[in-house]
Structure 1
Amino acid sequence: MTEYSVIDEFSRFEEACRILAAGTGPVAVDVERASGFRYSQRAYLVQVYRRDAGVFLFDAPSLGDFSPLQAAIGDAEWVFHAASQDLPSLRELGLEPSVIFDTELAARLLGHERVGLAAVVEDTIGITLKKEHSAADWSTRPLPASWLEYAALDVLHLVDVRDRIAEELEEQQKVEFAAQEFSATLAQPPRPPREDPWRRLSGLHQVKGARNLAVARSLWEAREAYAQQQDTSPGRLVPDRALVAAVLAGPQSKQALAGVSAFTGRASRTELDRWWKAIVRGRETEDLPKTRVPSDALPPPRAWVDRNPEADARLKLARPAIEEVAEGLHMPTENLLKPESLRRLAWAPPALTTDAVGAELAALGARPWQIEQTAQKIVDAFVEAAQSPDPAIAPGS
């Protein structure tokens, strides 16, 4: 087993950056977080590999200022496996690539049956990786040697994989497809904060009435504040199901709350005052949440035949047409066109011209290559549906 060490001193970090700057070719980059253990999605370890430089493991909390690394590799192509997962954490450190290559996304476009890192490495260059520490608590210090080897292997072979994947893209004439997807991933803006994030509590559908929803909201907010204070994943303090159980039990005293058997977790009993105060706040607030939240979500397709039979006919003809194109391109249908985009077009179509459908697809986030492959097929399917004597039972449905 190769022994790797974590760089946590700034002088060693600067020297590593000088070595990386003198390396050649693309730079493989990966991040380890502590999801499920810590409150934030911050990076705890940043792994970097470059040919003629080697592998470096950087301790993100200790180093803090990553500007030397940005200066060293900022102009190079950064190679990721599932870049969208790592870019937010890297940006928190001030690390921003100018161009990327995503081996996971490219593998999808190429029609690989398995797209996890270990599978793609094995399928492209024949090396087997062990993925035994992917769910580890990477905030642990010191990091065990076996974890460091795992982290190093995440980037050690990635540039070789990138080169083989690039050859496959050439062979399948998908270089431009991939380039557009990579650019879109890099340009993807941060997700806006969710409105009423407490409504994502698992099991909240069991809670009825505005007052009980206010209690659930208050408990969620109390847990969120405490989790942030403790830098601990909220679900490790008190699971969602325990918060919902507390609401459903309707305890009339702190002691009764303590007696709710399903109210469990690391902090359910030790922070009983905190949770009881949250329940009281929820019961006393005059700011009651709405029991129903307006949504622009479409009805489930199974309901379309009754609610919008013309849309149902359009979708039933367009969906197999898009699936046929995807099959011809040897890629998953969802990578050719998001199913939600097709559903929205079918529900409320624009003018049935290639330009109008293409413009609508672009507004829904489709890339030019996707529009080129699908817009005319969608128009043809929608026109056929409109010409059907019974739109609820369109041909091909």
Structure 2
Amino acid sequence: MTVHFHEEDLPEGVLAHGPVAVDTETMGLVTPRDRLCVVQISDGGGDEHLVRFRNNSPYDAPNLKAVLGDPSRVKIYHFARFDLAAIEHYLGVVAAPVFCTKIASKLTRTYTDRHGLKNLIHELLGEDISKQQQSSDWGAATLTEAQREYAASDVRFLHRLRDILIERLAREGRLEMAQAAFDFLPTRARLDIAGWADKDIFSHE
């Protein structure tokens, strides 16, 4: 298991075919304001790749964009809504089709309100990760080893979680509902960017 660090783009041919786990690190939670700093990606084979973008980056990353925009590859996220918005806003790519472990958790683990990645990994895989670096400075000139390990851990377990959650969705008869929610997520992300992040456009109000 190796964490690979790249500047500005993903090297060509480093990922196997099939689904990829994806996550992002930004300067904050307001997508148009808080720039994209890191994209993490893994093919589930044991290695994680971190692509770092510096301040004033043109976000010209053809290899990474090709993978993210490949309609034949499922992208596995935890809270896909945020990552899809950041990727589309800064990289200009709709990184779909989608599987979101947070939504799958909410549709299957109805016995709890704890749907964070740390909670999922602990319950379903029996492993623990640290979230200490979650709010650190991802725009720093140098990323620490702790930051790199944190970023890698956010994609390291997603393939395994997906396998378990697909089984649970099937068991509870909610696979079709989950897929419909996943298919809507790119549009939900665009609504966030366009100004409807805190508005329920489906409500009667």
What is the TM-score normalised by the length of structure 1? Answer: 0.45
Query: Where do 1:313-324 residues align within 5 Å?
Result: none
Deviations 1:153-203 (A, max 9, x none): 000111111111111001111000100111111222334348xxxxxxxxx
Which position in structure 1 is the counterpart of 2:13? 18
Which SS does the other structure have where 1:44 is aligned?
Answer: strand
Quote the offset at 1:123 in angstroms. 1.5
Q: What is the number of residues matched between the two proteins? A: 193
Taking the aligned partners of 1:34 and 1:82, their CA distance within structure 2 comes to 17
Structure 2 contact 99–182 (Cα < 8 Å) conserved: yes
What is the aligned counterpart of 2:75 among 74, 78, 82? 78
Is residue 47 of structure 1 aligned with residue 62 of structure 2?
no
Query: Where do 1:357-372 residues align within 5 Å?
Result: none
Query: Where do 1:222-301 residues align within 5 Å?
Result: none
Measured at CA, do residues 96 and 53 of structure 1 come closer, stay the same or move farther in structure 2, by a change above 3 Å? Answer: farther
Which position in structure 2 is the counterpart of 1:125? 125
Taking the aligned partners of 1:142 and 1:45, their CA distance within structure 2 comes to 12
Measured at CA, do residues 179 and 116 of structure 1 come closer, stay the same or move farther in structure 2, by a change above 3 Å? Answer: same
Which position in structure 2 is the counterpart of 1:290? none
Structure 2 contact 4–47 (Cα < 8 Å) conserved: no
Structure 1 contact 66–95 (Cα < 8 Å) conserved: no
Is residue 31 of structure 1 aligned with residue 1 of structure 2?
no
What is the aligned counterpart of 1:93 among 83, 91, 94? 91
Quote the offset at 1:116 in angstroms. 0.3
Which SS does the other structure have where 1:32 is aligned?
Answer: strand
More strand by share: 2
Which position in structure 2 is the counterpart of 1:138? 138
Structure 2 contact 76–162 (Cα < 8 Å) conserved: yes
Is residue 67 of structure 1 aligned with residue 62 of structure 2?
yes
Measured at CA, do residues 86 and 37 of structure 1 come closer, stay the same or move farther in structure 2, by a change above 3 Å? Answer: closer
Which position in structure 2 is the counterpart of 1:382? none
Partner amino acid, structure 2, of 1:78: K
Quote the offset at 1:36 in angstroms. 7.4
Is residue 105 of structure 1 aligned with residue 103 of structure 2?
yes
Deviations 1:58-77 (A, max 9, x none): 01235721221222352300
Structure 1 contact 37–137 (Cα < 8 Å) conserved: no
Quote the offset at 1:39 in angstroms. 8.2
Runs of at least 5 residues in structure 1 that lack an aligned partner in the other structure: 195-296, 298-337, 348-397
Which SS does the other structure have where 2:132 is aligned?
Answer: coil
What is the TM-score normalised by the length of structure 2? Answer: 0.83
Deviations 1:90-115 (A, max 9, x none): 11212322310000011111115110
Q: CA RMSD in A?
A: 2.7
Measured at CA, do residues 64 and 176 of structure 1 come closer, stay the same or move farther in structure 2, by a change above 3 Å? Answer: same
Measured at CA, do residues 63 and 51 of structure 1 come closer, stay the same or move farther in structure 2, by a change above 3 Å? Answer: farther
Which SS does the other structure have where 1:25 is aligned?
Answer: coil
Which SS does the other structure have where 2:24 is aligned?
Answer: strand
Query: What's the % identity of the aligned pairs?
Result: 26
Runs of at least 5 residues in structure 2 that lack an aligned partner in the other structure: none
Quote the offset at 1:4 in angstroms. 3.4
Partner amino acid, structure 2, of 1:186: P
Quote the offset at 1:137 in angstroms. 1.2
More helix by share: 1
Taking the aligned partners of 2:38 and 2:4, their CA distance within structure 1 comes to 11
Taking the aligned partners of 2:147 and 2:40, their CA distance within structure 1 comes to 12
Measured at CA, do residues 9 and 34 of structure 1 come closer, stay the same or move farther in structure 2, by a change above 3 Å? Answer: closer
Q: Which runs of 4+ in 1 moved over 6 A?
A: 36-39
Measured at CA, do residues 64 and 122 of structure 1 come closer, stay the same or move farther in structure 2, by a change above 3 Å? Answer: same
Which SS does the other structure have where 1:57 is aligned?
Answer: strand
Deviations 1:312-367 (A, max 9, x none): xxxxxxxxxxxxxxxxxxxxxxxxxx8x83xx3xx8xxxxxxxxxxxxxxxxxxxx
Query: Where do 1:111-190 residues align within 5 Å?
Result: 111=110, 113=112, 114-188=114-188, 189-190=190-191
